[in-house]
Amino acid sequence: MNIVRGALPFLLPLIETLFLKVGLVFPGQYLVIVLGGVVVSDAFLTILFKKNIPRMKIIWYALPSLLLYCSSAASLFIVEESYLRNTIVITNAVFQCLYLLNLYFLLYKRERYQERSFWHITATLNVVSFLNSSIVIYGLIHFVEYKLMLLIIPLVLLTALFHMQQLVSQGFDIRQHWRFICIQTLIIIECAFAIHWLPNHFIPKSFFLTIPFFMANQIGYSALRKEQSRRSVLSIIAIAASMLLLVLLTSRWR
């Protein structure tokens, strides 16, 4: 059983990739195939979690992996370019593998593992999932002409869910930090409405919205852990500015 658990961080991303690629080959059955991938992922995660830990803790640990898979599958339904689809599939596989490896070491090799590494990979996974979710939201506005007001509710729920998961994974009490979740969510709502009016394609808009999510995420949690310093804040701002410059240089304008 230990060998099976050790192989899961590499096996599960390959299985999910297979489900996503098969779903693209049979678009008429895409939803059924994706749901099958969720069931298989959940079954393999249950094997990985065969350890004496609370059931609610298992749910919070499994959530980033399942959210990344579901958001990747939803964004594949929106994008049309083959290179973007391949990028999403590969990104899902790579980050799933990294997350599951860190989770395996956290659960079974804790004495040789720094928990801070798990916090970082969890935050990264949530940023990628948020980017995929933003692609879905702005893609629906672009193709189906939905109003942003209709899609702001799932955006709020997803943002709050990402922060709740990170708070739990870092040992914070959600009930004591509900104001933090509300502030972080309000920042994203304001940015979403501002970015909605930009004359860009929906893909750059998704990146524009992900940048403030990344900044608020990094700065907010470093402040909660009381590890904030001028150097760390400046490094986060520098990374966000580099991301913004890259998106500006490569984005398509109407």
Is the same domain home to 9 and 102?
yes
Q: Which residue has the higher pLDDT, 1 or 248?
A: 248
Is the same domain home to 32 and 127?
no
- Evaluate the CA torsion angle 175, 176, 181, 182 in order and state its sign: positive
Residues with Cβ within 8 Å of residue 180, at least 6 apart in sequence: 163, 167, 220, 224
Tell which of 58, 76, 111 closes a domain.
111
Residue 92 confidence (pLDDT): 93
Residue 118 confidence (pLDDT): 87
Q: How many domains does the chain have?
A: 2
Is the same domain home to 24 and 94?
yes
Model pLDDT for residues 100-121, shown as the tens digit of each residue: 999 888 888 877 778 888 888 9
- With beta carbons less than 8 A apart as the criterion, state whether 61 and 169 touch: yes
Is the same domain home to 100 and 124?
no
Is the same domain home to 82 and 169?
no
Is the same domain home to 157 and 239?
yes
- With beta carbons less than 8 A apart as the criterion, state whether 162 and 130 touch: yes
Residue 56 confidence (pLDDT): 74
Tell which of 78, 111, 144 closes a domain.
111
CA–CA separation, 5 and 47 (whole Å): 7
**% of the chain beyond a pLDDT of 90:** 20
Domain that holds residue 209: 114-254
Is the same domain home to 183 and 232?
yes
Is the same domain home to 104 and 129?
no
DSSP state of 175: G
- With beta carbons less than 8 A apart as the criterion, state whether 12 and 41 touch: yes
CA–CA separation, 15 and 21 (whole Å): 10
**pLDDT over threshold 60, residue 253:** no
**pLDDT over threshold 60, residue 194:** yes
User: pLDDT band at residue 251, thresholds of 50, 70 and 90?
Assistant: low
Is the same domain home to 119 and 234?
yes
Is the same domain home to 94 and 7?
yes
Residue 155 confidence (pLDDT): 86
Average pLDDT of the residues of the chain = 84
| 12-16, 98-102, 124-128, 151-155: least confidently modelled range | 151-155
Query: What is the Cβ-side half-sphere exposure of residue 219, based on CA atoms within 13 angstroms?
Result: 19
